[in-house]
Structure 1
Amino acid sequence: MKPLSGIRIADFTVHAAGPFCTHMLSQLGAECIKIESALRPDIFRKPHPVYGRNGPASFDQVASNKLSVRINLKHPEGIALAKRLVAVSDVAAESFRPGVMARLGLSYDALCAVKPDIVLVSVSSSGQTGPDSHFAGYAPLFGAWGGLGYLTGYADGPPVEMRHVMDHSVGLNAAMATMAALLQRRRSGKGTHVDVAAREVASSLIGEALLEAATGGAPRRMGNDDLRMAPHGVFPSRDHDRWLTIAVGTDRQWAALAGLIEQAGRSVDPCFAAAAYRQAHGSELDTLVASWTKQQDATAAAEVLQRAGIPAHVSWTTRDIVEDEHLQARNAIVHVAEPDGRMRAAVGVPMRFSRTSDVGIARGTPRLGEDEDYVFGELLGIGRAERQRLVETQVIF
């Protein structure tokens, strides 16, 4: 049995951050019912060229494992139908702007009226309260507003967009908070409204910089440099766009690296033996190390460095990851069937449980409304004649 077997989620989320939260919970066993309509489908259902194919790749990533029903939330009977679904659920999740659920008639209080112990999870740009709560936003904004962007880039350049999977970090935090709320409900019998602010998730990832600023310091952009380790960075190899990551944290590690560089016929300034000197002459040091790595096969060099006790690894491409035997053995990369029967690779759940081996993705992307016989018929007990009426009046649409 999966860890969250028996938990049901009414999923109103859209785009990526909120859907990734419910996607993670579904892989742990929760039954996740995605609510959309033909009038307002999730925008990520629209095909777009990304990840090497022209399809709804982003949607595929976060909608796998979910059930799909159509409910027109612009129709009063649609709101009533949504409440019926919430009434048989444990969690309701949404990622609209603050206030949208209330205007629809689906506020936390309204949902509590039909399910007193419901856990409502709201994911938004800046949270449900506060002077900035009305702002919408996407991942690049979260990173910039949360401080990640300012700290990203080189010392002599401007802030850059943080190429961090910001939506997924938000979703993971929301999933963790949902689990905590469910545990609290088990102990107290009471539900709660979980408020997740994406920009606050971003700020939580730069805690040490915030502490430095709070004590009068001035955190700065430093590229791949480190405050303590040198050399510390990504270096070119002899092959185009194949990079080697090296992080030297001790004098002993540096001595081993210097020995390899000298064996290749390059002289090494003895002053680099001192950590303070390496730190103060980082640019010169990087040039020296790069002159050695440029002549190396990245994979072979990483193995040599590791045997010498130096932290190093090839900076892997996505193809390296997909083809890795270790990750395949752990089902980190799985294959799921599309609605048309074709198989595609998908990212599996990044954790394992000793008492169950079936966590992860069990089905591919659902077609819009694919699971209405089960949800409306079996779960809610709506007869075929009534369902037909709801379709004809565009409540189910």
Structure 2
Amino acid sequence: MRPLQGIRIADFTVHNAGPFCTHLLSQLGAEVIKIESAMRLDAFRKPHPVYGREGPATFDQVASNKLSVRINLKKAEGVALAKRIVAASDVAAESFRPGVMDRLGLGYADLCAVREDIVMLSVSSSGQSGPDSHFAGYAPLFGAWGGLGELTGYADGPPVEIRHVMDHTVGMNAAVALMAALHRRRASGQGVHVDVAAREVAASLVGDLLLLAAAGGATARIGNAHPRMAPHGVYPAAGEDRWLALAVEDDAAWTALCGVMKRPDLASDPRFADGASRIRHRETLDSMVSHWSAGVEANAAAEQLQHAGVAAHASWTTPEIAADAHLRQRGAIVSVAEPDGTLRAAVGVPLRLSKGEDIGILRGTPRLGEHEDYVYGEILGMGRAERLALEAAEVIH
């Protein structure tokens, strides 16, 4: 039995952060019904060239495992149909600007009227309340608002835009919040409205530096450097656009790195005698490591460094990740079928359970409206005449 088997989610989310949340839950066994419409396609369902392929690449990532039904929410009959799905669900998830669901007649109070113990998730840029709640936002803005952008980049450069990783981090936080809400409902019998603000998720990731600032300290962008480790960073390797990431955490690792570099003299150099000294001379160290690394193959060097006790790895390209035997064996990278039957690599759920539950991606991207026979027929008990009438009226469209 899959961990969330028996949980059904009416999924109104769009774009990436909200859909990534429900995607994770679907891999844990929840039945996720994506409610969408040909009248206004999810922007990510539209084909767009990205990641070296044509087609809806981002949508493919976050829609696998889900069921798809069409509902035109611009019509009152469509809203009524959506409520019927919610009434048969445990969770309703949405990621519109605050107020949109209320204006549609699908706000939390409206949904409680059709299922008293419904758990509703709302993912937005700044939350459902507060002076900035009306602000629109996308992944780069979340990081900017939350302080991650200001802290990311080189000392002599601008803040760095943080994109999809921000959406996915918001989605993971939302998934944890939803599971907590479901656990609470199981204990109390009460539903709840879960409010996840993306900018607050970003700010939660820089808590140590917020404390530093509150105490009067100064924060600064430090590139790939580390406040307590040197050498630490990403260094050029042999070949075009090849890089080696490494982190020297203590004196033993430093001595080991010197051995791999065939520079035992550096291990006894007083400039690099301890961690504090290496940090003071980090620029000199970085230059020396870069000079060595530029002549070695990244994967071979990483293997040699790991064997010597130094944390290191090549900075892999996405094709290397997709072909990695370790990730494939663990089911972190799987093959799923696209609508035309061709196979593509997909990212599986990033966890394992010791009981051997069958978690992960079981099916590929759904075609628009692909599962209406099951949802409208088996779940809602809708007859053929009613369904044809709703299709003729462009309620199911």
What are the Cα deviations for residues 100-123 of structure 1, in whole angstroms up to 9, with x where unaligned?
A: 000001110110011000000000
- Contact preservation (8 Å) 1:18, 1:95: yes
**1:43 counterpart letter in structure 2:** A
Could you tell me how far apart the structure 1 residues matched to 2:260 and 2:49 are? 44
- Secondary structure of the structure 1 residue equivalent to 2:54: strand
**2:379 counterpart letter in structure 1:** L
Could you tell me how far apart the structure 2 residues matched to 1:244 and 1:193 are? 45
Between Structure 1 and Structure 2, how many residues are aligned? Answer: 397
Could you tell me how far apart the structure 2 residues matched to 1:263 and 1:199 are? 46
What are the Cα deviations for residues 51-109 of structure 1, in whole angstroms up to 9, with x where unaligned?
A: 11110111111111111111111101111111111001000000000000000011101
Partner in structure 1 of residue 292 of structure 2: 292
Partner in structure 2 of residue 200 of structure 1: 200
Could you tell me how far apart the structure 2 residues matched to 1:8 and 1:386 are? 24
- Secondary structure of the structure 2 residue equivalent to 1:54: coil
What are the Cα deviations for residues 19-46 of structure 1, in whole angstroms up to 9, with x where unaligned?
A: 0111111111111000011111211111
What are the Cα deviations for residues 96-155 of structure 1, in whole angstroms up to 9, with x where unaligned?
A: 000000000111011001100000000000000000000111101111111110001111
Provide structure 1 residue ranges, at least 5 long, that are not aligned to the other structure: none
The question of 1:21 aligning with 2:21 is answered yes
Could you tell me how far apart the structure 1 residues matched to 2:151 and 2:396 are? 47
- Contact preservation (8 Å) 1:2, 1:356: no
Q: Give, in angstroms, the shift of residue 270 of structure 1.
A: 3.2
Could you tell me how far apart the structure 2 residues matched to 1:264 and 1:215 are? 42
Q: Give, in angstroms, the shift of residue 213 of structure 1.
A: 0.8
Partner in structure 2 of residue 396 of structure 1: 396
Could you tell me how far apart the structure 2 residues matched to 1:275 and 1:352 are? 36
Partner in structure 2 of residue 36 of structure 1: 36
Partner in structure 2 of residue 306 of structure 1: 306
Partner in structure 1 of residue 245 of structure 2: 245
Could you tell me how far apart the structure 1 residues matched to 2:321 and 2:230 are? 27
Could you tell me how far apart the structure 1 residues matched to 2:73 and 2:173 are? 27
The 5 A counterparts of 1:183-262 are 183-262=183-262
Partner in structure 2 of residue 156 of structure 1: 156
Partner in structure 2 of residue 119 of structure 1: 119
TM-score where L is the length of structure 1: 0.97
- Secondary structure of the structure 1 residue equivalent to 2:253: helix
Q: Give, in angstroms, the shift of residue 211 of structure 1.
A: 1.2
Could you tell me how far apart the structure 1 residues matched to 2:307 and 2:327 are? 23
- Contact preservation (8 Å) 2:36, 2:70: yes
- Contact preservation (8 Å) 2:147, 2:203: yes
Could you tell me how far apart the structure 2 residues matched to 1:359 and 1:27 are? 5
- Secondary structure of the structure 1 residue equivalent to 2:211: helix
**1:201 counterpart letter in structure 2:** V
**2:70 counterpart letter in structure 1:** R
Go from structure 1 to structure 2 and tell me whether the alpha carbon gap of 1:354 and 1:253 turns closer, same or farther (over 3 Å shift). closer
Could you tell me how far apart the structure 2 residues matched to 1:380 and 1:51 are? 39
- Secondary structure of the structure 2 residue equivalent to 1:53: coil
Could you tell me how far apart the structure 2 residues matched to 1:299 and 1:19 are? 35
Provide structure 2 residue ranges, at least 5 long, that are not aligned to the other structure: none
Partner in structure 2 of residue 319 of structure 1: 319
Could you tell me how far apart the structure 2 residues matched to 1:163 and 1:40 are? 24
Residue range with higher mean Cα deviation, 270-279 or 234-243? 270-279
Partner in structure 2 of residue 344 of structure 1: 344
TM-score where L is the length of structure 2: 0.97
> Identity, % of aligned pairs?
69
Partner in structure 2 of residue 91 of structure 1: 91
- Contact preservation (8 Å) 2:260, 2:304: no
Partner in structure 1 of residue 72 of structure 2: 72
Q: Give, in angstroms, the shift of residue 288 of structure 1.
A: 1.0
Residue range with higher mean Cα deviation, 158-167 or 224-233? 158-167
